[in-house]
């Protein structure tokens, strides 16, 4: 496993192209050095996990949508949080679901945070900037 503690690499697991574009723009506006790897399905997310095992650069944080094609976000979260090596990775659920059952299940599965996607772009960009500030600037990451 390679880990780069000098850069904030983010894995974005999201299938909505508009949300991907908004998140990437907000992150780049906040910090142009951030590398965002995007995967658009649960299967791609599981493949990324296998890539880390093969030596690919591991992200510092994961932004995870719950509604994905093929494998749900909750299944991805469970796979990460039960993996002996990757369970310590912070996973921020970034979704539009306000269902109580989803919120409870996400935290039970090990989510570090549950954040609703704002409809207003400025609010959404502000939330992304706050996520970046906390997880990439204030938080200390293990090596």
What top-level class would CATH report for the domain 9-85+94-138?
alpha beta
Q: Quote the DSSP letter at residue 59.
A: P
Taking each helix axis as running N to C, give the angle between helix 42-53 and helix 73-82, from 0 to 180 degrees, rounded to the nearest 10: 20
Output the pLDDT for position 118.
Answer: 85
Helices and strands (DSSP H and E) totals, the chain: 5, 5
> pLDDT for 93-137, tens place per residue?
999 989 999 999 999 999 999 999 988 889 999 999 999 999 998
Q: What is the pTM of this model?
A: 0.91
Query: Does the structure show a pLDDT above 50 at 4?
Result: no
The dihedral through the CA atoms of 35, 39, 42, 46 has a sign that is negative
Distance CA 43, CA 96 (A): 21
Output the pLDDT for position 7.
Answer: 74
The dihedral through the CA atoms of 87, 91, 97, 100 has a sign that is positive
Among 36, 16, 38, which Cα is nearest to 27's?
36
Q: Quote the DSSP letter at residue 56.
A: P
């Amino acid at each position: 496993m390679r880990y780069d503690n000098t850069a904030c690499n983010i894995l974005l697991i999201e299938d909505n192209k508009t949300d991907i574009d908004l998140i990437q723009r907000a992150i780049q506006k906040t910090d142009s050095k951030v590398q965002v790897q995007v995967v658009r399905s649960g299967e791609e997310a599981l493949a990324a996990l296998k890539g880390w095992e093969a030596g690919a650069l591991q992200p510092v944080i994961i932004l995870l949508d719950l509604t994905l094609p093929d494998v749900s976000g909750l299944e991805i979260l469970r796979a990460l949080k039960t993996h002996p090596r990757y369970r310590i990775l912070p996973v921020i659920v970034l979704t539009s679901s306000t269902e109580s059952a989803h919120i409870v299940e996400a935290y039970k599965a090990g989510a570090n945070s549950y954040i609703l996607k704002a409809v207003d772009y400025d609010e959404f960009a502000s939330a992304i900037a706050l996520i970046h500030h906390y997880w990439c600037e204030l938080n200390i990451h293990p090596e």
